[in-house]
Amino acid sequence: MMEYVFEPSQIPTVAVNGTSKRFPVRRIFCVGRNYAEHTREMGGDPDREPPFFFTKPADAVVDSGTEIPFPQATSDLHHEMELVVAIGKGGANISQEMASKHIFGFGAGIDLTRRDLQQIAKDKRRPWDSGKAFDQSAPCAALTKASEITNITSSRIWLTVNGETRQSATISDLIWSVDEVIAFLSVEFALRPGDLIYTGTPAGVGAIKSGDKIEGYVEGLTPISFTLK
């Protein structure tokens, strides 16, 4: 029997619609600047930039309905609404044509960003970890199995803060489609069951503060919501 020097942490998980079982999270990958208007909003060129990826720790995931403390070390916390893809079958160098076979399901998620720390990292040409990979920075609603969804591409995606719409687009506005993202990512990393992919955020990202209620939606999926303490 394996012995540890201290009790290991519990495996992070996400709820799954229609079942009491949970989806164990292995890694969280995020796609940067994958909606044209958001790319322009952040000073990029959507016609030239290939997809790029950053990561969050698996235990950054947070269930919908949670109260999240305003994170430390920042005065500029931003919301980024995203479609989340849950990988159920691993593989490397996956073709676009086979990508959908590797998807377990989809969810509505939010990439919380300490924008001030991210900007400092950008200015100094350093990694984004301090701005992106912090505690409770990846809220995710219950996953819906891919077999229960007919056409996620046509779904609307939007986010509200205290009832006011901040972000709104459709999944078809993605620069790189879900299948293309999986194909690109699987060249750089061997994907495994339990990996989550946050596929990018539409334009309209902005600051949130303590007391705000954030609600995010992807048409046909369970909404994501949380309140900042």
Residue 43's pLDDT band (boundaries 50, 70, 90)?
A: confident
Structural domain boundaries of the chain?
13-228
The pLDDT assigned to 48 comes to: 60
What whole-number distance in Å separates Cα of residue 173 and Cα of residue 170? 6
Which one, of 149, 141, 146, 147, lies nearest residue 14 by Cα? 141
Q: Can you say whether residue 163 is alpha, beta or left, with left for phi > 0 and alpha for psi between -120 and 50 degrees?
A: left
CATH topology (fold) of 13-228: Fumarylacetoacetate hydrolase; domain 2 (3.90.850)
User: What is the average pLDDT across 59-70?
Assistant: 98
Q: Please give the DSSP secondary-structure letter assigned to residue 102.
A: G
Q: pLDDT tens-digit profile of 139-196?
A: 999 999 999 999 999 999 999 999 999 999 999 999 999 999 999 999 999 999 999 9
Q: Which residues contact 191 (CB under 8 A, 6 or more apart)?
A: 87, 90, 91, 92, 94, 102, 182, 185
User: Which tokens in the block code for residue 1?
Assistant: 């029997």
Which one, of 131, 141, 36, 23, lies nearest residue 82 by Cα? 141
Q: Are 112 and 138 in contact (CB under 8 A)?
A: yes
DSSP 3-state of 111:
coil
What whole-number distance in Å separates Cα of residue 83 and Cα of residue 227? 20
Residue 41's pLDDT band (boundaries 50, 70, 90)?
A: confident
Q: Are 34 and 51 in contact (CB under 8 A)?
A: yes
Q: Please give the DSSP secondary-structure letter assigned to residue 48.
A: T
What are phi and psi for residue 37, nearest 5 degrees? -65, -35
The pLDDT assigned to 69 comes to: 98
User: Which tokens in the block code for residue 161?
Assistant: 């803060």
Residue 46's pLDDT band (boundaries 50, 70, 90)?
A: confident
Whether 49 shows a pLDDT value over 90: the answer reads no
User: Of residues 43 and 106, which shows the higher confidence score?
Assistant: 106
For residue 115, the one-letter residue type is R
Give the percent of the chain with pLDDT over 70.
98
Residue 214's DSSP bridge partners are 161, 226
Which one, of 75, 71, 46, lies nearest residue 137 by Cα? 71
Residue 37's pLDDT band (boundaries 50, 70, 90)?
A: confident
